[in-house]
Structure 1
Amino acid sequence: MTAGTMITGGTITVVGLGPGNPDDRTVGVQRALDRAWRIVLRTAVHPGIADLVADPRVTTCDDLYEAGASFDDVYARIADRVIDLARAGDVVFAVPGHPSYGERSVRLTVERAVHSGVPVTLSNAVSAPDALALATGGDPLAEGLQFLDGVDLAALLDAGPFGTGRVTIDPFRPSLVSQVYSAPVAAAVKLTLMAWFPDDHPLTVVRAAGVPGEEWVATVPLHALDRTKVDHLTSVRVPPIDFPHAGPHWPILTRIVARLRDEGGCPWDRNQTRDSLRSALLAEAYEVVDAIDSTDLDNLQEEMGDLLLVICMQAQIADEAGEFDIGDVLDTITAKLIRRHPHVFGDRVADSAESALRTWQSVKREERQSNGRPPDERSPLDRLPRSMPALEKVARLAGDIAPPHGHAAGDDPGDALLRAALACVAAGEDPEAALGRALRRRVGPTASSTVQMPLATRSSVTP
């Protein structure tokens, strides 16, 4: 190699060394290396770079891995080293693979160099996915291959239930998980994928893809991933699941519902309409409430699924009519949640549940105004859904209801019921729940007495 000329106040050229075969270095990368005044290797622990490790122009950053408290700390130190050297002259910063694929050190170096006024150029290179495509077969573009970072999956797993929704995988398309460099990362990837795939789902594990004499490819079940030997050159290819297949995520449910409604699907499901599912929606909501009241968690899980099914059916029917789809439903509610929680996603402050509610109502009024809608001047009763049970309306509006009084009011069964419902609310009772308990005491195998109703009324009650 011919050393380049030292220039005060130099530039940074970032190059990728490819997956590990020196023959895969591009002409442009090799030219940049040949002309370099100073070369900084992120690490010397990579196959196919013996010529660089022995080069006197080369500085490695492996010593920083020993001193850093975390990878973020290490990458910050690497960026500082590269930029400091560039102040004295042109520097080539060489990293494994492609500089724009899974290289956090490159992203941080570019950000800090731009902030420091040091010019940065990135050169193209052969990437790990290129080598993995040959090692595992298939066409990533035609298959719609998804790319995941094992390190990110491990971090999200540490977030527990508060990491929900941060990993989005379409289980009907293949995925490639890179940087599965250690047993703990492999375990985190396994646990994350188990939320989407069955325990025995076959994975293709690849080590040293594209490196002559070192490439290793094996198929292992998902549950055994963390017991498979991995290193810094390991990636995992996840094939799609077959359809139909049970699974815990929206894409699976929505695809099943669409198939049930499609030509050749289920005749009953295909016959359903928005109106025909109205009673099912109410019934499933009541089933969910029953499961909550009974603290039966297994039943609650099942009934919540039934309720989601009806919602997905409604969205599918709307999609078929060209009105909206489940994506529009999710977009509407997520946008609303973000707008109405500026104390979480914005710069407003709400330090109590009461102030959070006031913020919600304030944003709601702002939305009406920005949409050109007049203030909501409807009565409190008219603001509630018409189909809401009357006893629930009493519970919500008790403070706005004038109690029935006078001789005429006493003769009206509705007024008598209203007085009783208001009395329940005043006593801190939910009138619906109170009436339900009273009904259960008097009707059923443990009833102490039988409610006597006029014959005409009794004939209309379902046994």
Structure 2
Amino acid sequence: MAKYDLDFIAEWESAMRFDTVDDGVQVIPGSIFGKVLAAVPYEGGRFPYSPLRPMLIVFGPGQIGETGQFGSQSVAVARVLARLIGEDAEVETCGADGVETCLVRDIPKIWWLSAVYVDAVDPVLDAAKAGGDPRALQQIVARLREPDGCPWDRKQTHQSLRKSMVDETYEIVDAIDSGDTAHLAEELGDMLLLIMMQAQIAHEAGEFSIEDVYRGIAAKIVGRHPHVFGDAVVDTEADLSGIWSEAKAKEKAVTGDRGGKDIDGEPFSMPALERATRVLKKHPVVVDDDTTELLRLVSKIVASGEDPDAVLRQQLREHVARQS
């Protein structure tokens, strides 16, 4: 951060009535916001600050002189904050007219903007604003599970939420198939809630935490993509498949076989038709196999190159349509 910014923090503290240390204020260079916007739509989590703590956004001397009103830095700040806490949220700004309160969307209108102070958002009292930070949902779920929380949420277990997770998966698929992206966002949120709930239950029992979940999947995905995050070179799909298989083999060597899958690696709890489709692709029914007619029929559909589930689903739609 520019020395100019540090010299003026005490002045901003006095004018805007906050204490950087005691209030845990995040001091943020204004230039970061432009970089985040420049990365859209691939910025994914690159904004390393949370609305759950106060933010002081500061601009160096050069930035102030260059921005004036409707400058690129202040526009970037307004756009990023709008995504985090909403364009109608109130913030304090320090500009040519001193300290004044304005809405996020009006930040670019401030002449000679030198600082923006954003108060912390309470994830429970103002979930809509705080929800842009995944830790907000984590805190909300933890609150639900507290002794004086919600009786229904408190009595849930890993097993009791099992069916809900399966049901939500189907609802996500339905939303995808419908093409309704607003519905898809809602259903993904429902699944995220269940994931957070499972992690909170585990955390209370000393099994694992949501941070363990984050760490585990991040390490796994980076490890499986050495062609993106490392030096591996991929020229063909065969190369890609080989890298993926090698990475999974390394993981298994460390974690061992955790069970829950059959000899072909398919989950036991997978719907029977889907599981049969996957198994029969590897081991098709032959003429002299002593098997059921149903399995023979599924194998025949698989051999034709069609998806048995899709075929059955379409025939079921047609059957229902004929009944109406």
How much has 1:299 moved relative to structure 2? 1.5
Q: Which amino acid aligns with 1:394?
A: A
SS for the counterpart of 1:142 is: coil
Equivalent residue for 1:202, pick from 90, 113, 135: 90
Change in Cα spacing, 1:405 to 1:314, as seen in structure 2 (3 Å) is same
Contact 2:262 2:268 (C-alpha < 8 Å) held by counterparts: no
Aligned length: 310
Q: Which amino acid aligns with 2:9?
A: P
The corresponding residue for 1:271 is 155
The corresponding residue for 2:80 is 192
The corresponding residue for 2:46 is 166
The corresponding residue for 2:220 is 336
Equivalent residue for 1:130, pick from 3, 7, 10: 10
SS for the counterpart of 2:221 is: helix
d(CA) in 2 for partners of 1:142, 1:203: 19
Q: Which amino acid aligns with 2:303?
A: A
The corresponding residue for 1:455 is none
The corresponding residue for 1:399 is 281
SS for the counterpart of 1:355 is: helix
CA RMSD of aligned residues (A): 2.5
The corresponding residue for 1:312 is 196
Gaps of 5+ in 1: 1-15, 17-94, 102-125, 208-213, 410-414, 450-463
The corresponding residue for 1:218 is 100
Contact 1:195 1:248 (C-alpha < 8 Å) held by counterparts: yes
Q: Deviations for 1:227-260, whole angstroms, at most 9, x for unmatched residues?
A: 11135xx011111123332223312211211122
Contact 1:380 1:397 (C-alpha < 8 Å) held by counterparts: no
The corresponding residue for 1:150 is 30
Change in Cα spacing, 1:147 to 1:357, as seen in structure 2 (3 Å) is farther
d(CA) in 2 for partners of 1:305, 1:441: 32
d(CA) in 2 for partners of 1:96, 1:329: 39
d(CA) in 1 for partners of 2:251, 2:215: 17
SS for the counterpart of 1:290 is: helix
The corresponding residue for 2:317 is 440
How much has 1:168 moved relative to structure 2? 2.7
d(CA) in 2 for partners of 1:349, 1:161: 25
d(CA) in 2 for partners of 1:386, 1:379: 6
Q: Which amino acid aligns with 1:216?
A: G
Q: Deviations for 1:108-128, whole angstroms, at most 9, x for unmatched residues?
A: xxxxxxxxxxxxxxxxxx633
The corresponding residue for 1:115 is none
d(CA) in 2 for partners of 1:294, 1:197: 30
d(CA) in 2 for partners of 1:372, 1:330: 17
Equivalent residue for 2:173, pick from 289, 295, 299: 289
Matches within 5 A, 1:175-186: 175-179=55-59, 181=64, 182=67, 183-186=71-74
How much has 1:96 moved relative to structure 2? 4.7
Contact 1:174 1:239 (C-alpha < 8 Å) held by counterparts: yes
Moved over 4 A (4+): none
d(CA) in 2 for partners of 1:170, 1:379: 43
Please say which of residues 139-148 and 158-167 is displaced more in the overlay: 139-148
d(CA) in 1 for partners of 2:58, 2:268: 53
The corresponding residue for 1:429 is 306
The corresponding residue for 1:78 is none
d(CA) in 1 for partners of 2:263, 2:314: 28
d(CA) in 2 for partners of 1:419, 1:313: 42
SS for the counterpart of 1:359 is: helix
How much has 1:392 moved relative to structure 2? 1.3
Q: Which amino acid aligns with 1:132?
A: W
SS for the counterpart of 1:274 is: coil
d(CA) in 2 for partners of 1:323, 1:215: 55
Q: Deviations for 1:410-447, whole angstroms, at most 9, x for unmatched residues?
A: xxxxx2222222222222222112112222322x3x23
Q: Which amino acid aligns with 1:163?
A: E
d(CA) in 1 for partners of 2:243, 2:199: 30
Q: Which amino acid aligns with 1:356?
A: L
Change in Cα spacing, 1:333 to 1:291, as seen in structure 2 (3 Å) is same
SS for the counterpart of 1:230 is: coil
Q: Deviations for 1:37-92, whole angstroms, at most 9, x for unmatched residues?
A: xxxxxxxxxxxxxxxxxxxxxxxxxxxxxxxxxxxxxxxxxxxxxxxxxxxxxxxx
Q: Deviations for 1:366-393, whole angstroms, at most 9, x for unmatched residues?
A: 3334x3859x9x9643x11110112212
Q: Does 1:416 align with 2:282?
A: no
Contact 2:284 2:299 (C-alpha < 8 Å) held by counterparts: no
Gaps of 5+ in 2: none
Contact 1:186 1:226 (C-alpha < 8 Å) held by counterparts: yes
d(CA) in 2 for partners of 1:353, 1:171: 42
SS for the counterpart of 2:83 is: coil
d(CA) in 2 for partners of 1:363, 1:197: 39
Q: Does 1:241 align with 2:121?
A: yes
Q: Deviations for 1:4-56, whole angstroms, at most 9, x for unmatched residues?
A: xxxxxxxxxxxx9xxxxxxxxxxxxxxxxxxxxxxxxxxxxxxxxxxxxxxxx
Q: Deviations for 1:283-306, whole angstroms, at most 9, x for unmatched residues?
A: 000111111122222221111111
Q: Deviations for 1:136-186, whole angstroms, at most 9, x for unmatched residues?
A: 222222221112221121022011111121003322210111126321111
Q: Deviations for 1:353-409, whole angstroms, at most 9, x for unmatched residues?
A: 44223212112223334x3859x9x9643x111101122123323332140544953
Contact 1:206 1:216 (C-alpha < 8 Å) held by counterparts: yes
The corresponding residue for 1:73 is none
Higher helix proportion (structure 1 or 2) = 2
d(CA) in 2 for partners of 1:439, 1:169: 50
Q: Which has the larger radius of gyration?
A: 1
Contact 2:281 2:302 (C-alpha < 8 Å) held by counterparts: no
d(CA) in 2 for partners of 1:134, 1:268: 47
Change in Cα spacing, 1:407 to 1:235, as seen in structure 2 (3 Å) is closer
Contact 1:153 1:188 (C-alpha < 8 Å) held by counterparts: yes
Percent sequence identity over aligned pairs:
36
The corresponding residue for 1:140 is 20
d(CA) in 2 for partners of 1:137, 1:358: 59
